[in-house]
Amino acid sequence: MQLFPCSALGIYLGRITPFSVTLFACLPTYSADLSPQVLRARSYPGCHRTVTSSPPNDKMSMFGRFQESKKQWRNCIVACLALYALGFLFFYYSFPAFGDFHRPHHHAVSVTKHSKHVKPDNITVSGLVFYGRQSRVEIMKCYIERNLVENGGWLDEVLWVVNTEKKDDLRYLEEILASNPERYKKIYSDEIAGTYTYKNIWKKLDRGKYYVKIDDDVVWIDDNAIPSLVTRKVQNPKDFVVSGNIINNPPLGFFHMRMGAIHPYFPEAFEPFSVTNASDYWRPSRHPSWDGPKKYKWELKNEPPSWPNHRWLRVPEDSMLDQTPAAELKYDIWGDSYRNWAIASQMHMSLFENIEKNQLDLYKFEKTWTMYEDRIRINFMCIYSDDILDTDPENWPSGRGDEDMIVLDLPKKLRRPVVIQGDALAAHYQYMDQKKLESTDILKRYHSIAKDKYCLRLDAARGAAEADLKQRSIRALFSTPSGYDV
């Protein structure tokens, strides 16, 4: 009797060596003995069956052995299939990359937005988007639409400031403008704006309006953020600038770390064999946990993995947070807190986790922070147009950028504060020095979360409404004046 060779396959697939060896040891197959007189009786440890010897020339015995052999082969095949199934289940639940065909989660997104703030009737709120890159604005457009007044938001209009000469980006901007010509308008600067020429944009504001300035790489905006910014500015007109509480905006990351909003993440160590394409790709729980030595520490000088769109994975042990890039965050405007791509990656991944777990309160603070003479980046903020126009932007000093003027020089000169609104959350994707952030899958995740949770799917709604109208029109052709179908 010999062990069936498929036991090796069972051992590999199921990784349950003792079970498979014992199982197949109990399923013997027959081989002819060298002696023509007898087949020896054989048995194996753990097996309670013994094959008795019989004369080889007995026809009935040979027929019985043939039948027994067929039965043994059938049992072996069934056992192999069972082990294959066990092995598949083992890999499926041990390695999430193999289990990417779960049923997708479905999220009901309401067109009507709810906020604790009520927009005053006598104000005009305008979005001011510094437009340049389609790859970012494809994401932002979902949040702009959610915040339009017809969708329950506060934006009466959106000004798209053209700040690119790339044909593809300009073509996409035209698509945006055509999608809502009543609300969307474009304005041109005197030239393609840079650090010291953005003032040419600020001089084009209309008096008497509240402006929410949004950089084109703001890739996530909480539903309550714009109402909260504007409400603070309206109720506190002495504030010169009301800034959002922004992910990836130093020095705010320093506080987010100490408020418990940042979690341990490391980049994956090996290029994955398979990655999910589910609609909720953005969720950290959709991907495997990081698996590495507990004493591992990330050095800020480390380079990203060599393959494109590498993932940052959740470290199971929260106690390893001080070994991650974010442990190096400081109350610093420049330095690593501003430049390092790995710190930015961890902050973005922590935001995805906090959204998934419904714990955005980890970022929020009730009272506004006053920046005094500290810089805050102007990625996402609210200003009142008259405050800016009264300072004559066209004649701002040539050696000072718009950020220098708006959050440092003018507030100091006018003795008016710049404040951070703690519940006005938004995420800024990338600074120029964080170029290596593009080697991650984080922008892909922002695309995913926008489509999965925030885009209003207005085109689908319009299509359904048109189909319903057409159906009702057809029914009207076959109905009596009284309304009853004939």
Whose tokens are 């393959």? That residue is 307
Closest CA to 282 of 410, 92, 443: 443
Kindly state whether residue 436 falls inside one of the protein's structural domains. yes
State which of 49, 73, 94 marks the end of a domain: 94
Q: pLDDT of 108-148, one tens digit each?
A: 334 445 568 999 999 999 999 999 999 999 999 999 999 99
Contact 220, 446 (CB under 8 A): yes
Residues 437 and 469 in one domain: no
Q: How many domains does the chain have?
A: 3
Same domain, 485 and 416: no
User: Do 59 and 135 belong to one domain?
Assistant: no
Least confident of 100-104, 276-280, 408-412: 100-104
Buried b (16+ CB within 10 A) or exposed e, 17-41: eeebbebbbebbeeeeeeeeeebee
What is the reported pLDDT for 95?
46
Backbone torsions φ then ψ of 298, nearest 5 degrees? -85, 130
In whole angstroms, what is the distance from residue 301 CA to residue 279 CA? 34
Residues 318 and 373 in one domain: yes
Quote the tokens at residue 204: 């084009």
- pLDDT on residue 76: 76
Euclidean distance between CA atoms 326 and 317, whole angstroms: 15
Residue 171 confidence (pLDDT):
97
Indicate if 74 and 184 belong to the same structural domain.
no
Q: Which CATH number is 178's domain given?
A: 3.90.550.10
- Across-strand partners of 148? 155
Q: What is the pLDDT of residue 54?
A: 46
Are 225 and 306 in the same domain? Answer: yes
75/191 same-domain check: no
Length, in residues, of the chain: 486
CA distance 218 to 280: 20
The model's confidence at residue 196, banded by pLDDT at 50, 70 and 90, is: confident
State whether 261 and 353 are in the same domain.
yes
**450 within 8 A of 429, measured Cβ to Cβ:** no
- pLDDT given at position 194: 74
Residue 325, token pair as written in the block: 């890039």
Contact 296, 266 (CB under 8 A): yes
Q: Is residue 223 part of a domain?
A: yes
Residue 387 pLDDT greater than 80, yes or no: yes
Domain boundary among 45, 77, 94: 94
The residue range of the domain holding 17 is 7-94
pTM here is: 0.73
Grouping H, G, I as helix, E, B as strand and the rest as coil, residue 242 is strand
Dist CA 329 CA 347 (whole Å) = 10
**Confidence tier at 107 by pLDDT (50, 70, 90):** very low
Closest-CA residue to 471 (of 482, 459, 480, 479): 479
Does residue 33 belong to any structural domain of this protein? Answer: yes
Dist. CA 117–CA 124, nearest whole Å: 15
Determine, yes or no, domain membership for 402: yes
CA 422 vs CA 143, 184, 245, 444: distances in Å = 19, 29, 5, 27
Longest dimension (CA), the chain: 115
What confidence tens digit (pLDDT) does each residue in 175-188 have? 999 999 999 999 98
Angle at 76 between CA 75 and CA 79, to 5 degrees: 85
- Please report, for residues 128, 208, 304, the alpha-carbon distance to residue 445 in angstroms, rounded to integers and kept in the order given: 25, 38, 18
| Residue 15 within any structural domain of the chain | yes
479 to 1, 45, 470, 483, 484: CA distances (angstroms): 83, 84, 15, 6, 6
Please say if the pLDDT value at position 412 is more than 50: yes
Q: Cβ contacts of residue 478 below 8 Å, gap of 6+?
A: 485, 486
Assess if residue 109 is contained within a domain: no
Please state the rounded mean pLDDT for residues 268-292: 94
In a domain, 196, yes or no: yes
Q: What is the pLDDT of residue 72?
A: 74
Closest Cα partner for 445 from 263, 214, 276?
A: 276
Q: Alpha-carbon dihedral of residues 240, 246, 251, 255, nearest 10 degrees?
A: 110
Judge if 447 and 464 occupy the same domain: no
The string of pLDDT tens digits covering residues 251-266 is 999 999 999 999 999 9
Q: Kindly give the residue spans of alpha helices, DSSP state H, lying in 121-160.
A: 134-146
The tokens for 179 are 């999608």
> For 474, what's the count of Cα atoms within 13 Å in the CB-facing half-sphere?
6
Between the CA of residue 324 and those of 253, 291, 318, 344, 481, what are the distances in Å?
Answer: 14, 14, 10, 12, 74
Query: Are 197 and 289 within one domain?
Result: yes
Pair (204, 279) in one structural domain: yes
In a domain, 1, yes or no: no
Give the percent of the chain with pLDDT over 70. Answer: 73
**Domain co-membership, 414 together with 437:** yes
